[in-house]
Amino acid sequence: MHYTGTIWRPPYEAASLLLEVTAGCTHHKCKFCTLYNDLPFKFKMSPMKDIEEDLREAGKTIRSWNGHGIDRAFLTGANPFVLSYDKLTAIAELIHKYLPSVKSIGSFARITDITPKSEEELARLHACGYDGLTIGIETGDDEALRFMNKGYTSADIYEQCKKLDAAGIHYSFFYLVSISGAGRGEIGAKLTADICNQTHPKLIGANMLTIYPDSELYAEIQRGNWQEEGELEKYKEVRTLIENLQIPTVFAAMGASNAYQFHGQLPKDKTKLLSFLDEIIGNVSEEELQRYRKSVHHL
């Protein structure tokens, strides 16, 4: 199999075939992000012959393990959904040729990857298997989106997710706790709840901001242009987000950036999640949480 650099995937894609179709990120400008800094290029698409070779190998190997195949493929790279409609359909055809058991195909996607695709194209992509995109919206706070160079607005999140809804493509969001900066976390959480409440994410995954010295955000902090929230403030921010969510969705804070991991189904588990967060806010010290943050050397 061809794999380039560190391969990132959401926790819930652990059982999916990880198929490299791209490496890196077309955007590569978010100030907090260091995820693809280990690559010597910004973005590349794999040659179709490499993708076909990997699928041939995966098909044979997986069938020799279980005699059946695998249900789902996850395309790797920061935003493979940026590929054109024609390329995405060609990749889906190859997946179905070598792994006919695959029922759905997922990937990370940027909001701007959806923009050039029409509703009809999205519906056809859904028909050939694309479903369950993971979108790092990060926040619904336009001031933070602009400062961090995310390259879209909260209105874009709403518009593009509406197209996915119409096409029947399900999606999940990643939310970046602390992206709004010190003193603004609860405002950012409420703005994010507003946008989530107008869309239909199957899951909202919370990651807590961990700032690394090779990020542009670190340089902004040194220049005095931005200030990070305290650790307890981050938990208050997540609490505000959950409190203000009114849609049925799964809320999960499960990655290494969260000192305390938790998840639940909303609205059923809302009270339980809020009580869990109140326990942390009331009983865990800022120092202890900061010690954890400093120990997160890699996400």
Measured distance CA(261)–CA(254) in Å, rounded? 5
Residue 241 in contact with residue 274, Cβ under 8 Å? no
Indicate which single residue of 21, 27, 94, 188 sits in contact with ligand SF4 (rule: CB under 6 A): 27
Residue 22 in contact with residue 79, Cβ under 8 Å? yes
C-alpha closest to that of 128 among 204, 59, 75: 75
> 69-88 mask for ligand SF4 (x: CB under 6 A)?
---------x----------
Indicate which single residue of 30, 51, 169, 206 sits in contact with ligand SF4 (rule: CB under 6 A): 30
Number of residues this chain uses to bind ligand SF4 (CB under 6 A): 11
In the complex, the smallest distance separating the C-beta of residue 79 from ligand SF4, rounded to whole angstroms, is: 6
DSSP H helices in 231-269: 231-244
> 132-151 mask for ligand SF4 (x: CB under 6 A)?
----x---------------
* 25 vs 105 by CB, closer to ligand SF4: 25
Strands (E), the chain: 17-20, 22-24, 43-45, 72-76, 104-109, 133-138, 171-177, 203-208, 249-253, 262-266
Query: Does 111 interact with ligand SF4 (rule: CB under 6 A)?
Result: no
Residue 76 in contact with residue 54, Cβ under 8 Å? no
Structure token digits, residue 183: 């003193």
| Helix or strand (DSSP H, E) at 144 | helix 142-147
CA 161 to chain centre: 14
Residue 79 in contact with residue 42, Cβ under 8 Å? no
In the complex, the smallest distance separating the C-beta of residue 212 from ligand SF4, rounded to whole angstroms, is: 12
Strands (E), 34-103: 43-45, 72-76
Query: Does 31 interact with ligand SF4 (rule: CB under 6 A)?
Result: no
Indicate which single residue of 2, 9, 28, 202 sits in contact with ligand SF4 (rule: CB under 6 A): 28
Residue 245 in contact with residue 266, Cβ under 8 Å? yes
In the complex, the smallest distance separating the C-beta of residue 61 from ligand SF4, rounded to whole angstroms, is: 29
Query: Does 33 interact with ligand SF4 (rule: CB under 6 A)?
Result: yes
Stretch of residues binding ligand SF4 (CB under 6 A), selected from 21-29, 64-72, 159-167, 242-250: 21-29
* 36 vs 74 by CB, closer to ligand SF4: 36
Query: Does 35 interact with ligand SF4 (rule: CB under 6 A)?
Result: yes
In the complex, the smallest distance separating the C-beta of residue 34 from ligand SF4, rounded to whole angstroms, is: 8
What residue has token string 């993708």?
A: 51
Query: Does 280 interact with ligand SF4 (rule: CB under 6 A)?
Result: no
Stretch of residues binding ligand SF4 (CB under 6 A), selected from 29-37, 91-99, 201-209, 233-241: 29-37
* 53 vs 159 by CB, closer to ligand SF4: 159
Contacting positions for ligand SF4 (CB under 6 A): 25, 27-30, 33, 35-36, 78, 110, 136
